[in-house]
């Protein structure tokens, strides 16, 4: 089950879809897609932050690398995972 931000029961949603910051359901995990901006402050507020991107899209990969650099330069810990032979494998950690 999930809700879209702006509904009357946002705080009760286990998954809340939003395009903005400050989700009413007090999430422990932020999943950013399609190049959505993620700040170091947002990362520090979450137990886990996932930046999902299409590894076959050169522009998406370039943007994800820019995000990685900005967030790690700001002191955020980061791991890069990729599919490898049908399994997920950690490729980098900082």
Cα-to-chain-centroid distance, residue 57: 17
Structural domain boundaries enclosing 86: 3-93
Q: Is 37 helix (H, G, I), strand (E, B) or coil?
A: coil
Please name the residue ranges forming H helices in the chain.
40-45, 58-73
- C-beta of residue 68 within 8 angstroms of C-beta of residue 78: yes
Rg of the chain's alpha carbons, rounded to an integer?
14
DSSP label at residue 10: G
pLDDT over 80 (residue 21):
no
What pLDDT digit, counting tens, does each position of 48-88 carry? Answer: 999 999 999 999 999 999 999 999 999 999 999 999 899 99
| pLDDT at 22 exceeding the cut of 80 | no
What's the number of domains the chain is made of?
1
Taking all residues of the chain, what is their mean pLDDT, rounded to a whole number? 92
- pTM for the full model? 0.84
């Amino acid at each position: 089950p999930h809700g879209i931000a702006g509904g009357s029961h946002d705080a009760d949603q286990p998954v809340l879809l939003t395009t903005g910051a400050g989700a009413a359901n007090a999430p422990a995990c932020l999943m950013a897609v399609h190049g959505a901006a993620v700040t170091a402050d947002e990362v520090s507020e979450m137990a886990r932050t996932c930046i999902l991107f299409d590894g076959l899209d050169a522009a998406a990969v370039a943007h994800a690398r820019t995000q990685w650099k900005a967030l790690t330069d700001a002191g955020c810990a980061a791991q890069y995972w990729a599919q490898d032979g049908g399994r997920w494998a950690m490729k980098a950690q900082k």
